[in-house]
């Protein structure tokens, strides 16, 4: 209506228009565009700032977990304590619990402090407890049980320092705070200060954080994410083995063979809906179906994998269908034209061309499943679970285990501040996995994707 009336209403403004000097309306439009671009740049900048802040926080809080303080100490393995009868019988040696080994290690450290000529009011063996990790006794005991001939000798051990000592060397535990801490005193820190230049105490790279198992709250210093990583690996294996064939078969049928009718429409809508279902719902479903109904074991990576498969399937089906759709009909027509059956056309020609897209979708689906925590909370994968490394495929699938994100969640809840650092360290490792999986997906897409 206004369009029709405009030329007649403003006849004299029309020939004033010049392309060199923009009129008010053009300027306004250009200004609007400029503003819009500014909004866009501001949006990207905000996003980048958040990303940088996030990454800086993660790296600065988590790097500490990759370093740990160790004590080099020669321990005299007293035969009178470890093998009272002196016949080196392995069953009798096993009867000496870790509580029997603790005094030997404390004596050894005390001796070292004396030999170094460090002046300290701490003169009892029990005073050394605050410096040594509770894991040391188990480490020494395992060594002795593996090699009983060491009894009676003095053996060099590299044991973990307690989390408070480690925190002091990392700057987390401050001198002015330890007065209120019943676990450690300033006199202990004096010993630490004296032992560090002698090389007895060292802060070095801690491989055990990447390969080790979870530890209880009394020894944060020995906790590692390794066993949870294996748990995640087995879960991803289950997800891959189940969701890739099921997902690809379902999408090939739906895309290439199924008649277009109301039923397939309903299925299609429901697959799209399933992709949007919150993951915690799959957790509840897993608890009800796999554990309570099918009696699969609680906390098993197999169950976790099954639950994550349900979650990943829609993602894989949707991406597979998209990549099948992207293969032009001429390929199918040509194959059918030279006498191939429908199935031959699909499996010999369409599927290979769609494979890079399918793989990309699968990897992204797996990455999503790898970082998922919520459904795992319900099937018992949070707690003190990841303590035994599995010894085989069946045990890897069925024995209780945790997963990386669940382990991080568990660490973040624990009281000792050393666990907080480990939670961040775990996040770095998890992010490393996710970034490399996504990179592989991008590379696959770049290298093999074909455009028609």
Closer to other proteins by Cβ: residue 84 or 94: 94
Closer to other proteins by Cβ: residue 134 or 165: 134
Write down the least CB distance from residue 397 to other proteins, Å.
6
Is residue 138 within 8 Å of 98, Cβ to Cβ?
Answer: yes
Spell out the SS3 assignment of 95-150. Answer: HCCHHHHHHHHHHHHHHHHHHCCCCCCCCCHHHHHHCECCHHHHHHHHHHHHCHHH
Residue 335: CB atoms within 10 A of its CB come to 18
Write down the least CB distance from residue 401 to other proteins, Å.
9
CA 51 to CA 279: how far, in whole Å?
Answer: 25
Residues ≥6 apart with Cβ < 8 Å to 401: 227, 228, 230, 231, 234, 299, 300, 301, 381, 385, 386, 390
Closer to other proteins by Cβ: residue 119 or 146: 146
Closer to other proteins by Cβ: residue 166 or 399: 399
CA 353 to CA 282: how far, in whole Å?
Answer: 33
Closer to other proteins by Cβ: residue 204 or 218: 218
Among 232, 397, 193, 443, residue whose Cα is nearest residue 303: 397
Closer to other proteins by Cβ: residue 200 or 345: 345
Q: How far is CA 108 from CA 78, 204, 325, 353, 443, in A?
A: 11, 21, 71, 67, 55
Write down the least CB distance from residue 392 to other proteins, Å.
12
CA 257 to CA 254: how far, in whole Å?
Answer: 6
Q: How far is CA 170 from CA 58, 69, 160, 194, in A?
A: 16, 9, 14, 16
Closer to other proteins by Cβ: residue 104 or 134: 134
Closer to other proteins by Cβ: residue 238 or 444: 238
Write down the least CB distance from residue 189 to other proteins, Å.
14
In the Cβ-directed half-sphere of 32, how many Cα atoms lie within 13 Å?
6
CA 343 to CA 356: how far, in whole Å?
Answer: 20
Write down the least CB distance from residue 241 to other proteins, Å.
5
Residue 153: CB atoms within 10 A of its CB come to 11
Phi, psi of 160 (to 5 degrees): -80, 145
Closer to other proteins by Cβ: residue 181 or 333: 181
Question: For binding to other proteins (CB under 8 A), which residues are involved?
Answer: 94, 97-99, 134, 138, 141-142, 173-174, 177, 180-183, 215-219, 241-242, 244-246, 248-249, 252, 291, 294-300, 302, 347, 380, 382-385, 387-388, 394, 397-400, 410, 412-417, 420
Write down the least CB distance from residue 85 to other proteins, Å.
19
Name the token pair of 28. 């306004």
Write down the least CB distance from residue 296 to other proteins, Å.
5
Write down the least CB distance from residue 19 to other proteins, Å.
59
Write down the least CB distance from residue 289 to other proteins, Å.
12
């Amino acid at each position: 209506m206004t369009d029709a009336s405009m030329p007649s209403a403003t006849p004299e403004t029309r020939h004033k228009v010049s392309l060199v000097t923009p009129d008010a309306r053009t300027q306004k439009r250009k200004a609007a565009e400029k503003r819009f671009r500014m909004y866009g740049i501001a949006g990207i900048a905000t996003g980048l700032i958040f990303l940088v802040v996030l990454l800086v926080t993660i790296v600065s809080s988590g790097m500490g977990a990759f370093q740990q303080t160790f004590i080099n100490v020669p321990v005299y393995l007293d035969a009178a304590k470890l093998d009272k009868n002196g016949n080196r019988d392995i069953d009798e040696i096993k009867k000496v619990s870790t509580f029997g080994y603790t005094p030997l290690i404390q004596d050894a450290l005390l001796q070292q402090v004396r030999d170094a000529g460090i002046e300290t009011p701490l003169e009892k063996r029990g005073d050394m407890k605050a410096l040594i990790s509770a894991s040391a006794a188990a480490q020494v005991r395992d060594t002795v049980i593996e090699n009983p001939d060491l009894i009676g000798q003095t053996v060099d051990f590299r044991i973990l320092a307690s989390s408070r000592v480690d925190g002091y060397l990392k700057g987390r535990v401050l001198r002015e705070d330890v007065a209120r801490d019943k676990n450690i005193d300033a006199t202990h820190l004096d010993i630490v200060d004296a032992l560090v230049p002698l090389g007895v105490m060292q802060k070095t790279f801690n491989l055990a954080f990447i390969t080790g198992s979870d530890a209880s709250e009394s020894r944060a210093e020995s906790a590692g994410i390794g066993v949870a990583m294996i748990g995640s690996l087995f879960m991803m294996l289950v997800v891959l083995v189940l969701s890739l064939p099921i997902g690809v078969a379902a999408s090939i049928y739906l895309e290439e063979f199924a008649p277009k009718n109301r039923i397939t429409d309903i299925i299609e809508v429901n697959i799209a809906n399933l992709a949007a279902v919150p993951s915690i719902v799959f957790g509840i479903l897993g608890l009800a179906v796999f554990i309570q109904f099918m009696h699969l074991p609680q906390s098993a990576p197999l169950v976790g994998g099954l639950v994550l498969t349900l979650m990943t399937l829609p993602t894989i089906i949707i991406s597979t269908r998209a990549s099948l759709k992207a293969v032009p009909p001429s390929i199918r027509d040509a194959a059918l034209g030279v006498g191939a059956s429908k199935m031959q056309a699909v499996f010999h020609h369409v599927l290979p061309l769609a494979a890079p897209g399918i793989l990309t979708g699968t990897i992204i689906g797996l990455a999503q499943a790898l970082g998922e925590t919520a459904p795992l909370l319900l099937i018992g994968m949070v707690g003190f679970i990841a303590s035994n490394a599995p010894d085989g495929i069946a045990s890897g699938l069925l024995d209780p285990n945790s997963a990386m994100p669940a382990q991080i969640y568990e660490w973040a809840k624990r009281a000792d501040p050393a666990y907080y650092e480990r939670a961040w360290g775990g996040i770095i490792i998890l992010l490393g996995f996710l970034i490399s999986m996504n990179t592989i997906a991008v590379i696959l897409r770049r290298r093999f994707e074909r455009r028609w």
